[in-house]
Amino acid sequence: MFPYSNDVDYQCWLNYQRLETPSLSDQYKEYLKNIVINIDGYIIDSIKNELYYSIKKFFNIEAIITNKPIKRTFTIISKLDGGSFFSNTIKEEEYTSLSEEGFLIKKVENSTKKFILITAKSDEGLLYGTYKLIQNIQMEKPLDQLNLLEKPYIPLRIINHWDNLDGSIERGYAGKSIFYRNNELVDNLDRIRDYARLLSSIGLNGIVLNNVNVKSEETKLIAERINIVEKLYDVFKRYGIKIYLSVNFASPMIIGGLKTADPLDKEVRKWWKERVDFIYNRIPDFGGFLVKADSEGQPGPFTYNRTHVDGANMLAEALAPHGGLLIWRAFVYNCYQDWRDNETDRAKAAYDTFMPLDGKFLDNVIIQIKNGPMDFQVREPVNPLFGGLQKTNQILEFQITQEYTGQQKHLCYLVPQWKEVLDFDTFLFGEGTSVAKIVSGSIFNSPNFGIAGISNIGDEINWTGHTLAQANLYGFGRLAWDPSLSGKKIIEEWIKCTFGNNETVLNNLSEMMLKSWNIYEKYTAPLGVGWMVNPGHHYGPNVDGYEYSRWGTYHKADHYGIGVDRTLKSGTGYTAQYRQQNFEKYEHLDSCPDELLLFFHHVSYIYKLSNNKTVLQHIYDTHFEGVEDVQWLIDKWQGLERYIDSKRYSSVYQRLLEQRESAKEWRDVINSYFYRKTMIYDEKRRKIY
């Protein structure tokens, strides 16, 4: 029986603490003593285990699980078609509005019995409903209000792992892989099972098991090392999570002995078909492939003068008979490109590559698009492919792992950033075509749309290194399920389930979390310009550190001004990739939002922002404020010392101290760089090092 470790930090939001209100605890307990489950299956077994375990932890009782009620009061988990006994308690409209993965939770009372009902059309729906009921208990929601109908807004909700078989994780900041060690699967799979529990408790339904940069050992996962995948499949399927693999486009050459990987070559096509048949023979519910092609050294169809359509469709054809999906990343750019002509612009690459291909991909191909046009910077505009593509399935890709946002040493709750992306109006089909709406697939009438997040977990006992970074994993799942949830609502849920229902903790911590992205932004690269990090590992300040800057600094700072002119009028023309309303907004200085000013425009340091401050004074001020704000975070956290167990308290505290030192370094490096460039004093005459 789980969990693999009893450490409270390990349990994350599933730590099932005793309720603080005894009367409510008694009410719930009455219903949960007898659990009625009248169906079988491996997902159903997971439901039974989770209920049994949580009830034991919440109430210190052993629930009796039966297939018929043995008491007058009970909780029943049953499919919608599960018999007449409760069917007249469900209204017609409830029945029709439940989707395949949705669920209904109700409290029912009549003269002979009282029960909580969890019902759904699928086992997955029942599992999600079970976690919801458990969450309601943990959040001490009154039992009387128990009447919930939920369904996910976005069909594909996938976590991506950049784990390698040797146990390393690309851009991982919380230890090694929980899956692999020394080119083998780890021996004990219990921790992986607990990870599956965490993922399905927030409604995720897919996982990519290996890094998109696929090296030779990982290439064998679709051949002689398939047993590793099979074992992982056996864990994840029990939690309704489909598995996907990243594949190397040159696999036919690396492991197939062919002389080419040309997607139009007959032998290559046959080879992939046989590989896919082989996989489905072993893993009947296999989700499909994820491919990074022609990007950062990965092979792709360009080698053979073929297009991304040729490459993606070839793989999709092999997967289609099995219902598999081919997810192809739009993160395609030439990192060696010479941008001195002022038109060449990395930000334009994804749109330039994929827009001409719109409508040419097969139905089971999905283009996975990073939230911004560059690479997960602290602030970027929304990728214009959202709002561009009209006839192509799309997945939105977020980075949960904090590569550019403090590497889980800094506190940076990313949900507010993701919300801005999801709420962004692309104007694709007129006003109101938000990114969330696009990736829900509803306007395209297709289930092959979704959201993906690069995982932030590793084998550190608390999964994410920084305890508070658990909230990013939690928030990613919750937003994927329901993008209309606010950052505040999500963080409050997370705090209650992770730390309990104490008011002071809830207030202080939610304020800290909600401000943290903004604080991080203040002391790092200003006004949306991005980068300014050390090359390679991407931690800490380095104003000219962009690794592909052989053609000049990325931010184009000189003595007079800073920023990248991406306007149509005088710059790279990137602004023209947006629909008219957004084009107008970004093209013109007076309408461009301050926070993205330097992403879109090159301006003088004395250019005035909307608050009447000059760009330079803004840089100075925000960098001083950023450090002060980190001190504020520390003070707030110190105010919680007596409410939080010492282990979690002190590990977060240590990281906040590290954040303060790093923020000071950022402040000093950035401010002195711009002071030396401009020789313009800080108006407040603060000391600039």
Which residues form the interface with ligand GCV (CB under 6 A)?
Answer: 162, 170-171, 212-213, 292, 331, 375, 403
Q: Which residue, 268, 231, 273, 230, is CA-closest to 251?
A: 268
DSSP string, 410-471: S----HHHHHHHHH-B--BTBTT-BHHHHHHTTTTT-S--EEEEE----SSTTSSSSGGGHH
Nearer to ligand GCV, 22 or 535 (CB): 535
* Helix, strand, coil fractions of the chain, as percent rounded to 5: 45, 15, 45
What are the CA-CA distances from residue 622 to residues 520, 521, 545, 626 (Å)?
10, 9, 21, 6
* Total Cβ atoms within 10 A of residue 284: 11
Distance CA(244)–CA(232), nearest Å, equals: 11
Q: How far is the CB of 138 from ligand GCV (least distance, A)?
A: 35
Nearer to ligand GCV, 345 or 403 (CB): 403
Q: How far is the CB of 211 from ligand GCV (least distance, A)?
A: 6
Lookup: tokens for 609 = 């922002």
Distance CA(477)–CA(180), nearest Å, equals: 24
Nearer to ligand GCV, 215 or 676 (CB): 215
Please tell me the total number of residues recorded for the chain in this structure: 689
Nearer to ligand GCV, 118 or 349 (CB): 349
Q: How far is the CB of 422 from ligand GCV (least distance, A)?
A: 20
Distance CA(612)–CA(618), nearest Å, equals: 10
Q: Which residue, 204, 212, 206, 209, is CA-closest to 171?
A: 212
Q: How far is the CB of 293 from ligand GCV (least distance, A)?
A: 11
Catalytic residue among 123, 163, 375, 460: 375
Q: How far is the CB of 124 from ligand GCV (least distance, A)?
A: 29
What are the CA-CA distances from residue 387 to residues 415, 437, 538 (Å)?
22, 11, 30
Give me the amino acid identity at 336: Y
| Virtual torsion, Cα 294, 300, 303, 304, nearest 10 deg | -140
Peptide bond just before 263 cis, omega within 30 deg: no
* Catalytic-residue membership of 170: no
Catalytic residue among 9, 101, 397, 403: 403
Distance CA(668)–CA(460), nearest Å, equals: 32
Catalytic residue among 109, 184, 296, 645: 296
* Catalytic-residue membership of 101: no
Nearer to ligand GCV, 43 or 330 (CB): 330
* H-type alpha helices, 524-596: 580-587
Q: How far is the CB of 215 from ligand GCV (least distance, A)?
A: 11
* Residue 454: φ, ψ to 5°: -80, 120
Q: How far is the CB of 452 from ligand GCV (least distance, A)?
A: 11
Q: Which residue, 2, 1, 66, is CA-closest to 34?
A: 66
Nearer to ligand GCV, 9 or 403 (CB): 403
Distance CA(147)–CA(107), nearest Å, equals: 7
Q: Beta-strand (E) ranges in 501-585?
A: 561-562
Q: How far is CA 239 from the centre of its chain?
A: 18
Nearer to ligand GCV, 28 or 180 (CB): 180
Lookup: tokens for 34 = 């007898």
Nearer to ligand GCV, 55 or 169 (CB): 169
* Catalytic-residue membership of 7: no
Q: How far is the CB of 401 from ligand GCV (least distance, A)?
A: 10
621-625's contacts with Cβ under 8 Å and 24+ in sequence apart are 621/684, 622/521, 622/522, 622/523, 622/526, 623/522, 623/523, 623/526, 623/666, 623/667, 623/670, 623/671, 624/667, 624/671, 624/686, 625/522
Nearer to ligand GCV, 129 or 530 (CB): 530
Q: How far is the CB of 348 from ligand GCV (least distance, A)?
A: 17
Residues acting as catalytic residues: 296, 375, 403
